Structure 1
């Protein structure tokens, strides 16, 4: 029995399958935690999603920005971006089942047995793990609610710079989602900067979220994806970047949560 975490699939089913074979993944006894962005940009998002759906009892996803965007496109009847290559999913008769399944998945989770916090983009340095999980639960209630469509419609509005109790539920939802699924850099005032996507050396005025003292001092493991430009390197033993850019010609990374051993499969793209 083993627990694994894996970086962004983004429709790269060949590499995903190879990694599962390399660790002899057994859905009847093993569990896989996917850090999000299981769909979009790669050649076979449908195969990735369908495999996870069929083995959902042994899979958990912390939803990423591409996953939420796909759900939003479904709810809002938005045209899908051709670059996302999601046509096969939207043409599938199982689309409603896939969407419903994704809505059962969290934005973040904590595995006490591995002392590990997992989310797509990381942990807001202003949040404790306990408060982060509460925020994730609030957001999940929003995207599972009867008016989920309204939350997805508001998801694309400007990011609230500061959290305060007077924010309405739509603003709170957007604030939480942006930190969990889009975070890379923080400004000098510790607010979220959403336009920079490069390496940690690309800007002297911005700080990677994991370089914040609150993150450096954590004793827990933090496991995330989203930031392919890091190439898996954070310089911190307890902060594990698993998006190694498979869809961009890099590789896909799987980690054994017990040993923290990482296995890398080179991209075929």
Structure 2
């Protein structure tokens, strides 16, 4: 039995099928972990959602910001933009089933036996694991409720940018959603900065990537995340793995086999490529 972790798919269905074939993924014996952002920007979001849903309990995934955007578009809160490339998905006959399945997915995965966490964007250094799990549960409960459109309508916004026990419930939900699905940078005190998207060596001081700040969580767990394609999987501490390598932007789709830390890469537009690179993490 193997655990395979795959970075942001973004509708890149062909590359997903190829990479699963390369490692001979067996849904009966293996488990597939997905870092979120299954949809948008790539060409085949509908096919990706149908495939992942069909795999049932062999998949452990988290929701990303583009997955939440799909839910928001479906609920009539956000506008479907051509760049999202989700029109075929939104017009699909099974869209309601897919939406109801998607909004029941978590924003945080924890495997205590393997001391492994997965999230789309990151874990704020202000949280210990118990706080992260509680905040994740609150977001997940709202998404699974019949009133989820009300939550989505209040979700967007960059404030508050600092966690406190004094935050109202709604403010805490927005902060948590930003941490789990949008965060890249923090100030040294853990305050979120939601504006900077540059690579770390171009970020203005004193901003630092969330994974470079002291953390109670990363001291005890390995963390796998997506979201930050421009990192191309580089520059993180040894126990933190960034798996979004920009397949929908012409990069590659990345898979990590957890047992031996072997990476498999499939280039975007794979039909025009001939090689798959593998490396073993030092």
- The two structures, once aligned, show a CA RMSD in angstroms of 1.6
Q: Deviations for 1:198-253, whole angstroms, at most 9, x for unmatched residues?
A: 21111241100010022696131110000011110134110000001111111111
The equivalent of 2:235 in structure 1 is: 234
* 2:208 aligned with 1:225: no
Q: Is the 8 A contact 2:12 2:42 kept in 1?
A: yes
Corresponding residue number in structure 1 for 2:280: none
> Residue 60 of structure 1 aligns to a residue in which SS?
strand
**What is the DSSP-based 3-state SS (H/G/I as helix, E as strand, rest coil) of the residue aligned with 1:201?**
helix
Partner Cα distance (1:26, 1:94) in 2: 26
CA deviations on 1:245-265 (whole Å, 9 max, x unpaired) are: 111111111111222221111
Partner of 1:245: 246
SS of 2:255 mapped into structure 1: strand
**Mapped contact 2:223–2:241 kept (Cα < 8 A):** yes
Deviation at 1:77? Answer: 5.2
| Cα distance between partner residues in 2 of 1:92 and 1:135 | 33
Aligned residue for 1:180, secondary structure, equals helix
For 2:105 and 2:242, how far apart are their aligned partners in 1?
21
| Stretch moving more, 189-198 or 211-220 | 211-220
The residue that corresponds to 1:209 in the other structure is 210
Distance 1:134 1:228, change over 3 A: same
The 3 A distance-change label for structure 1 pair 19 and 51 is: same
Are 2:232 and 1:254 aligned? no
Q: Post-superposition shift, 1:39?
A: 0.3
Q: Residues of 2 paired with 1:136 and 1:89: CA distance?
A: 27
Q: Supply the distance in 2 between the matched residues of 1:90 and 1:266 (Cα, whole angstroms).
A: 27
State whether structure 2 residue 127 is matched by structure 1 residue 130: no
Matches within 5 A, 1:1-269: 1-76=1-76, 78-205=78-205, 206-214=207-215, 218-268=219-269
Contact 1:76 1:153 in 2 (8 A): no
Question: 224-233 or 130-139: which moved more?
Answer: 130-139
* 3-state DSSP of counterpart to 2:202: coil
Following the alignment from structure 1 to structure 2, what is the Cα–Cα distance between the partners of residues 51 and 216? 32
- In the aligned structure 1, how far is the partner of 2:222 from the partner of 2:199? 22
User: How far apart in 2 are the matches of 1:241 and 1:26?
Assistant: 24
**Residue 145 of structure 1, CA deviation:** 1.6
Q: Distance in 2 between matches of 1:101 and 1:216?
A: 29
Q: Is the 8 A contact 1:234 1:240 kept in 2?
A: no
Contact 2:127 2:216 in 1 (8 A): no
Question: How much does 1:57 deviate?
Answer: 2.1
1:16–1:215: structure 2 CA closer, same or farther, 3 Å change rule?
A: farther
On the 8 A contact 2:188/2:213 being kept in 1, the answer is no
Change (3 A) 1:7 1:149: same
User: What is the TM-score when the length of structure 1 is the normalising length?
Assistant: 0.95
- Cα offset, 1:159, TM superposition: 1.9
Distance 1:175 1:61 in 2: 21
